[in-house]
Amino acid sequence: MSIATTRTRIVRPLVVRRRGLLTRHPRITLAALLLGTLAGLAIFAPFITEYDPMTLAVTQRLRPPSAAHWFGTDAYGRDTFSRTIYGGRISMQIGVSVAAMSVLIGVVVGMLGGAIRWLDPIVMRISDGLMSIPAILLAIALMSLTKASVATVIIAITIPEVPRVIRLVRSLVLTIREQTYMQAAIASGTRLPRLMLRHILPNVLTPLIVQATYICASAVLLEAYLGFLGAGTPTEVPSWGNIIAENRTFVQLATWNVMFPGVFLALMVLGVNMLGDGVRDLLDPRLAGRIGK
Amino acid sequence: MLRIVLRRLGATIPVMLVVAVVVFLMLHLSAGDPAAIIAGDNATEEDIALLRKSLGLDRPLAEQFVQWIWQLAQGDLGVSIFNRVPVATMIAQRMEPTIALTVLTMTLAVSLAVPLGVLAAWRVGTWVDHTIMALAVAAFSCPVFLIGYALVQQFARTWKVLPVQGYTPLSEGLVPFLLHLALPAISLGLIYTALLARMTRSTMLEVLGEDYIRTARAKGLGVRQVLLQHGLRNAAVPIVTTIGLGIALLIGGVVVAESVFAIPGIGRLTVEALQQRDYPVIQGVILVSSLAYVLVNLLIDLSYLLLDPRIRY
Q: A119 pLDDT exceeds 50? A: yes
Measured between CB atoms, which of B37, B270, B271 is closest to A145?
B37
pLDDT-based confidence at A21, cuts 50/70/90? low
What is the rounded CA–CA span in Å between residue A130 and residue A138?
9
B145/A228 touch (CB, cutoff 8 Å), yes or no: yes
- Asked if A2 and A14 count as a contact pair (C-beta separation under 8 A), the reply is no
SS3 string, B26-38, reads HHHHCCCCHHHHH
> pLDDT value at position A19?
55
The answer to whether position B238 is within a domain reads: yes
> pLDDT value at position B31?
56
The more confident residue out of A77 and B258 is B258
Number of structural domains chain B divides into:
2
The answer to whether position B111 is within a domain reads: yes
Whether residue B275 is found in the same domain as residue B185 = yes
The answer to whether position B100 is within a domain reads: yes
Residue type, position B91, single letter: I
Query: Chain A residues with CB inside 8 Å of B195's CB?
Result: 293
Domain residues for the domain of B59 are 2-73
Q: B283 pLDDT exceeds 50? A: yes
User: Considering chain B, what is the average pLDDT of its residues?
Assistant: 89
Tell me the CATH number for domain A74-285. Answer: 1.10.3720.10
Whether residue B62 is found in the same domain as residue B97 = no
Whether residue B100 is found in the same domain as residue B51 = no
Mutate to test the interface with B, among A126, A128, A142, A145 (most CBs of B within 10 A): A145
Q: For chain A, state the CA radius of gyration.
A: 23
Whether residue B54 is found in the same domain as residue B24 = yes
- Which ranges in B77-210 belong to alpha helices (H)? 87-122, 127-141, 144-151, 174-208
Which is nearest to B186 in space by CA: B158, B144, B154? B144
B195/A293 touch (CB, cutoff 8 Å), yes or no: yes
> Which of these three, B73, B96, B128, is where a domain ends?
B73
- Asked if A166 and A131 count as a contact pair (C-beta separation under 8 A), the reply is no
- A216 vs A2, A93, A272, B194, CA distance in Å? 31, 10, 7, 19
A228/B23 touch (CB, cutoff 8 Å), yes or no: no
The answer to whether position B80 is within a domain reads: no
Q: Hey, CA dihedral for A27, A31, A37, A38, is it positive or negative?
A: positive
Whether residue B43 is found in the same domain as residue B179 = no
Whether residue B62 is found in the same domain as residue B11 = yes
Query: Highest mean pLDDT range out of A172-176, A284-288, B251-255?
Result: B251-255
Is residue A7 packed enough to be buried (19+ CB in 10 Å), middle (13-18) or exposed (0-12)? exposed
A288/B205 touch (CB, cutoff 8 Å), yes or no: yes
What is the rounded CA–CA span in Å between residue B145 and residue B267?
14
Which SS3 state, helix, strand or coil, does residue A204 take? helix
Whether residue B138 is found in the same domain as residue B197 = yes
Global pTM reads: 0.90
Q: A100 pLDDT exceeds 60? A: yes
Residue type, position A8, single letter: T
Q: What share of chain B is helix, strand, coil (3-state, %, to 5)?
A: 80, 0, 20
Flag the least confident range among A8-17, A133-142, A236-245: A8-17
The answer to whether position B82 is within a domain reads: no
Query: Chain B residues with CB inside 8 Å of A292's CB?
Result: 198-199, 202
Q: B178 pLDDT exceeds 60? A: yes
B15/A289 touch (CB, cutoff 8 Å), yes or no: no
Whether residue B186 is found in the same domain as residue B301 = yes
The answer to whether position B313 is within a domain reads: no
Measured between CB atoms, which of B203, B282, B290 is closest to A144?
B282
Q: In angstroms, what separates the C-alpha of B207 from chain A's closest C-alpha?
A: 11
The string of pLDDT tens digits covering residues A237-288 is: 889 999 999 888 887 778 888 999 999 999 999 999 999 988 888 886 555 4
> Cα(first)–Cα(last) distance of chain B, in Å?
9
Q: What is the CATH number of the domain that holds B127?
A: 1.10.3720.10
Mutate to test the interface with A, among B274, B275, B295 (most CBs of A within 10 A): B274
Contacts of B273 (CB under 8 A, 6+ apart): A144, B80, B82, B279, B281, B282, B285
What is the rounded CA–CA span in Å between residue A3 and residue B142?
41
The answer to whether position B108 is within a domain reads: yes
What is the rounded CA–CA span in Å between residue A140 and residue A124?
24
Residue type, position A278, single letter: G
Q: B45 pLDDT exceeds 90? A: no
Q: Which residue of A has its CA nearest to B156?
A: A252
What is the rounded CA–CA span in Å between residue A174 and residue A179?
9
User: Considering chain A, what is the average pLDDT of its residues?
Assistant: 85
State the number of CA atoms in the 13 A half-sphere of B211 facing the CB: 0
Q: In chain A, where are the structural domains located? A: 74-285
> pLDDT value at position B290?
94
Whether residue B97 is found in the same domain as residue B26 = no
Whether residue B45 is found in the same domain as residue B126 = no
